[in-house]
Structure 1
Amino acid sequence: MVFSASVGSVALPPPSVRVSAKRWSSVVVAAAHEPFPSFLPKLIDRIHDPFARRLAMRIQRLPVPVRFSENPIMSSCVKPLIQKKETPIVLLHGFDSSCMEWRYAYPLLEESGFETWAIDILGWGFSDLEKLPACDVVSKREHFYQFWKSYIKRPMILVGPSLGSAVAVDFTVNYPEAVEKLVLIDASVYAEGTGKLATLPKAVAYAGVYLLKSLPLRLYANYLTFYNVSFSTSLDCTNVGRLHCLMPWWDDATVGFMTSGGYNVSSLIEKVKQKTLIIWGENDRIISNKLAVQLHCELPDAVIRQIPNCGHIPHLEKPSSVVKLIVEFVQREAKKLDKCVTQV
């Protein structure tokens, strides 16, 4: 679920995305003329936001072998244009979302010189799941690990927003060798899985997910998610936020996740040994920032930063602020390491 202000038929990025007129023009022109991947839902043609269109053009599918499927899963992601020797940044997304969530922050991270990946979590996004695999927590973890093992191949800076934070914590504790540092954004890590939803009869669960992808519910979710956003700006961003819901396997995958019990990672938090940056929107109406303080206290090695005038998804509302915090976090730790090496 995403936000952009619009003028006429062309959506503008949020004010915190500072771009020159020349660069903005190039984004608009490129987004207007380049083709989209054929596997994306046709609704993509009706989305006006040039940043969303531009990132959508870069989505590709890579084969990922997993133990729970006979054939590799063609897994959707945004792959970096150039792979570097330095530690890569890997971006997850929140509950029932996709890599499109990063359309404003992704180009800023690339411009900052980072090898940046945006990966769709199994069961969401735009992967090919026609032969539906299991989409429970264990399968999501296994799929992400095999993706990392096949393509990233070295310790990463793992960024998880909202429920993506639970995915990141679960993954980090199970595969600590794969994660150098963590960034958790408005983290949903204290929920007890999907709760009573796990016990719903299948028919009721399917009715629920049908409602979940409806336009009115998504518009209302945008209202809760963002800080001080007018209704008139919401339609295009709502279409971006529900684009993955139009994939033919989405209903089955979402019901499968709900009935599996979901993520319950609160007991794992103290086991995270990696240096962690906690970012929180000061005006988050979804998850109280009191939980940010609790998370900061429970993580063994963490720093916390709040972003004012910002709701639940800072990387959409305040992408420049989020990228600045991530860059400072990474560079500060790198300088400390260089200093230690020099002293030795």
Structure 2
Amino acid sequence: MKFLRKLLVFILIVIVFGGAAIWIIYYFKNIEKKELTYELRKNTNGSYAELEKGFTHYELDGPDSGKVVVLLNGFSVPYYIWNGTYEYLTSHGFRVLRYDMYGRGFSDRPNVTYNKQLYFEQLNELIDQLHLKQPFNIAGVSFGGLMAADYTAAYPEKVNKVVLIDPAYNFDHPSTPELAENFLEALDPEKRALSQMEDFKYPDKHPNWVEQYRPQMEYKGFRHALVSTRYDYGSDNNKIYTALNNAHKQVLLIWGKDDKTVSFTYSKDIQQVLKTEFLPVDDAAHLPHLEQPDVVNPALVTFLKK
């Protein structure tokens, strides 16, 4: 009995000290120390809309009479991922909206489950509050492409044409427990920041990309938004793109041939279930609109104006 008591005491001590060590490591590694405040936001570009789940950071420009185009950002990069394309579309007469999805950029990070419904509600509320004409055109890059397909299938009456740029594919539920994934993200935030350069074929041409990305990581809730999205958004490739095909929309699929983030080979899988116009982009990786804007941006205008 004495041996068992000593063993139990030893195990308890290990658990207590182990837990304390993990908490200390987490505390010092966790860079999410800041809150998003009014004072901070008033010194940023863009505008803010107060929605049910919090403030949404957005930018809206172009003539009031122009066809509306909504741009959806990627998994973790805010709306600046559309720099260049946003200005190009507005200069060609479109009314263009881009915004930071909840958890990204300067939008709020509500402590909720980041599932499809959350993302759909944010977009629907924003469209209504800004009184934008419907049906509108929708374009998404990476995760935004996946969401554009899902959203159009769910609300076909709201959408006119669809543009998918290197859309996320095999966006599966991770195998590790969610709590462990959150902890691992906290241990090495720089890994996620630096990994953004993998989206380019020529990262040296975008020297400020990581520097531009890092600030959003310091605000509480960023990591939860990303981790919850991976675990709770839910996706089934065939169902998503089959449902979009059944919505009978004009779709333009654009893909960088040298994409290592979402392999170019998936473009063939999508086209097996979804009727699209297809633009393969030479000499570009995951973000062809940034690496080959002279190819992608005119193609967007041509498609949207047809």
**How high is the TM-score relative to the length of structure 1?**
0.70
Residue 253 (structure 1) aligned with residue 216 (structure 2): no
1:291 maps onto 2:278 in alignment: no
How many angstroms does 1:169 deviate by? Answer: 0.9
Q: How far, CA to CA, are the matches of 1:261 and 1:116 in structure 2?
A: 26
Match of 1:114 in 2: 94
Structure 1 residues 123 and 229, CA, compared in 2 at 3 Å: closer, same or farther?
closer
2:174–2:231 Cα contact (<8 Å) kept: no
Cα distance in 2, alignment partners of residues 149 and 322 from structure 1: 29
- For 1:81-120, list aligned pairs within 5 A: 82-120=62-100
Aligned-pair CA distance for 1:87: 2.0
Cα RMSD (Å) of the superposition?
2.4
Residue of 143, 150, 157 corresponding to 2:129: 150
Contact 2:102/2:108 (8 A) holds in 1: no
Contact 1:193 1:261 in 2 (8 A): no
Counterparts of 2:108 and 2:189, CA distance in 1: 19
> Any conservation in 2 of the 1:108–1:323 contact (CA below 8 Å)?
yes
Instruction: Quote how far apart the aligned CAs of 1:201 are.
Output: 4.6
Deviation of residue 310 (structure 1)?
0.6
Deviation at 1:108, TM superposition (A): 1.5
Asked if the contact 2:238/2:273 (under 8 Å) is kept, the reply is no
1:304 to 268, 278, 290: 278
The alpha-carbon deviation at position 94 of structure 1 amounts to 0.8
Residue 206 of structure 1 and its aligned partner are, at CA, apart by 2.0
CA contact (8 A) 1:105 1:320 kept: no
Q: Match for residue 170 of structure 2?
A: 191
Q: Match of 1:121, as an amino acid? A: M
Q: Tell me which residue corresponds to 1:225.
A: 199
CA distance in 2, matches of 1:160, 1:102: 10
Question: Structure 2 counterpart of 1:101, which letter?
Answer: I
Q: How far is 1:265 from its partner?
A: 4.5
Superposition TM-score, scaled by structure 2 size: 0.78
Change (3 A) 1:271 1:103: same
Contact 1:123-1:135 within 8 A present in 2 as well:
no
SS in 1 for 2:40: coil
2:215 matches 1:240 = no
Q: Distance between the aligned counterparts of 1:159 and 1:134, measured in 2? A: 24
Computing the radius of gyration over CA atoms, which structure comes out larger, 1 or 2?
Answer: 2
State the 1:270 CA deviation: 1.6
| Separation in structure 2 between the aligned mates of residue 288 and residue 116 of structure 1, nearest angstrom | 29
Q: Report the Cα distance in structure 1 between the residues aligned to 2:167 and 2:230, rounded to whole angstroms.
A: 19
SS at match of 1:173: helix
How far apart, CA to CA, are the structure 2 residues paired with 1:280 and 1:183?
Answer: 11
Distance across 2 between alignment mates of 1:58 and 1:76: 9
Equivalent pair of 2:172/2:235 in contact (CA under 8 Å): yes
Distance 2:187 2:234 in 1: 19
> Aligned partners of 1:147 and 1:111: how far apart in 2?
23
Summarize the Cα distance change of 1:235–1:246 in structure 2 as closer, same or farther, 3 Å threshold.
farther
- For residues 19-40 of structure 1, the C-alpha deviation after alignment (integer angstroms, 9 at most, x for no partner) is xxxxxxxxxxxxxxxxxx9535
CA distance in 1, matches of 2:235, 2:186: 22
Q: CA deviation at 1:219?
A: 2.4
How far does residue 93 in structure 1 lie from its aligned partner after superposition?
A: 0.8
CA distance in 1, matches of 2:195, 2:107: 27
Paired residue total: 265
* Structure 2 residue matching 1:128: 3-state secondary structure: coil
SS at match of 1:39: helix
List per-residue Cα deviations over 1:159-187 (Å, max 9, x = no partner).
01111111111111111111100000011
Say whether the 8 Å CA contact 2:63–2:93 is kept in structure 1.
no
Aligned mates of 1:309, 1:265 — CA distance in 2? 26
Matched residue, 2:50: 63
Q: Percent identity?
A: 22
Instruction: Give the C-alpha shift of residue 237 in structure 1.
Output: 1.2
Are residues 1:207 and 2:186 paired?
Answer: no
**In structure 1, what is the Cα distance between the partners aligned to 2:299 and 2:149?**
20
Deviation string, structure 1 residues 44-100 (Cα, Å, up to 9, x no partner) = xxxxxxxxxxxx9532211223xxx5xxx21111121x4423321111111111101
Q: Please, which of 240, 247, 267 is the counterpart of residue 239 of structure 2?
A: 267
Which one-letter code corresponds to 1:259 in the other structure?
A: Y
Say whether residues 1:39 and 2:40 are aligned partners: yes
CA distance in 2, matches of 1:139, 1:57: 25
| Counterpart amino acid of residue 209 in structure 1 | E
Structure-1 residue corresponding to 2:12: none
